[in-house]
Amino acid sequence: MSDSVWKVAVAGASGYAGGEILRLLLGHPAYLTGELEIGALTGASSAGASVGELMPHLPQLADREIEDTALDTLAEHDVVFLALPHGHSAEIGAALPDDVVVIDCAADFRLRNEDDWLAHYGPGYAGCWPYGLPELPGHRDELAGARRIAVPGCFPTGATLAAWPALEAGLIEPDLSVVSVSGVSGAGKKASVATLGAETMGSLRAYNVAGAHRHTPEMVQNLQEVAEDDVRLTFTPVLAPLPRGILTTVVAPLAGDVSTTQARAAYAAAYKGEPFLRLLPEKQQPETQHVLGSNMCHVQVAVDPAQDKLVVTSAIDNLTKGTGGAAVQCMNLALGFEEAAGLPRAAVAP
């Protein structure tokens, strides 16, 4: 390993998360100056195929071949992104040398409570790593120089960024209803009847409701950090016929007499200095198209005075801020780069 060039590997490179990480790395200032080198690109079923064949949107890497995911190969790198299905990262992460920065995009190291893991993922709890959501109070310091990082889930990212300022400021009771509408790329690249175009076009479908979704305990874990009382949360995910993006609505009872002006002031204070959080002008609602391909989270907050409820909406790109962008943001903190390096704030439009 070189002190002058950071060598980076991506395991699961041909999946949606792996491809997004590579897209962002190719525009990273350190890559453009030669300080960062893209090394091994590994996969399982895609091993032996070329990047150009699998991901023609990455022309700089078109001639590269996807390799088998071998531990010895990954260990030769300074940074390893694990863009693998849940349950596949734990063994690799534990076996890689301590001086390698390992950034896991799966759920294997997100949950602190073993019972939560067993209830939602099954046997094989592997422990927890520093949680890769820098905007959540206290986490940026944990990520600076870290050698093991767990990237948050996409749904928890949108919900946490929307809700934590209200809980921290004591604006709401810790009894939240969260509804997130997501594009089909959140289900991954593996072929599935449920995500076929013929099954999703022109239709909306809720799934894994009433506490069944795996991201529910992760949301509670995050929000519990800033809440004085136990957090109660109901999560309803909805599949929508769009490739990428998540629109989240959080509704919670007010904890007293709170106006929209007061709520907006609390959010403006919480988001101050955060490069990827934007409180929109009053009455302008977040739209997934306005964060497409960016690492931004757009947020709106308002009080429903008739019902004494706070309503918060957020929009993220599930593959950027929700996965690949978060992973690169964490890499920047771990390696000492500028946190926003290589991460677009401008979206693709129209």
What confidence tens digit (pLDDT) does each residue in 186-226 have? 766 676 777 777 777 888 899 999 988 999 999 999 999 99
Q: What is the pTM of this model?
A: 0.94
User: Assign residue 220 a region: left if phi > 0, alpha if psi is -120 to 50, beta otherwise?
Assistant: alpha
Question: How confident is the model at residue 3, as a pLDDT?
Answer: 62
* Catalytic residue list: 154
Residue ranges in the chain modelled with pLDDT below 50: 1-2
Residue with the two structure tokens 């907006």: 264
Question: How confident is the model at residue 199, as a pLDDT?
Answer: 76
Residue with the two structure tokens 């929209």: 260
Question: How confident is the model at residue 1, as a pLDDT?
Answer: 46
Between the CA of residue 320 and those of 109, 126, 203, 255, what are the distances in Å? Answer: 20, 26, 24, 34
314 — phi, psi (to 5°)? -140, 155
Q: Do residues 105 and 323 lie in contact, with contact meaning Cβ atoms separated by under 8 Å?
A: yes
| Complete DSSP assignment for 169-181 | TT-B-SEEEEEEE
DSSP 65: B
Question: How confident is the model at residue 191, as a pLDDT?
Answer: 63
334: number of Cβ within 10 Å? 22
DSSP 254: B
Per the structure block, which two tokens stand in for 218?
A: 């992760």
**What residues have CB less than 8 Å from 284, skipping those under 6 apart?**
300
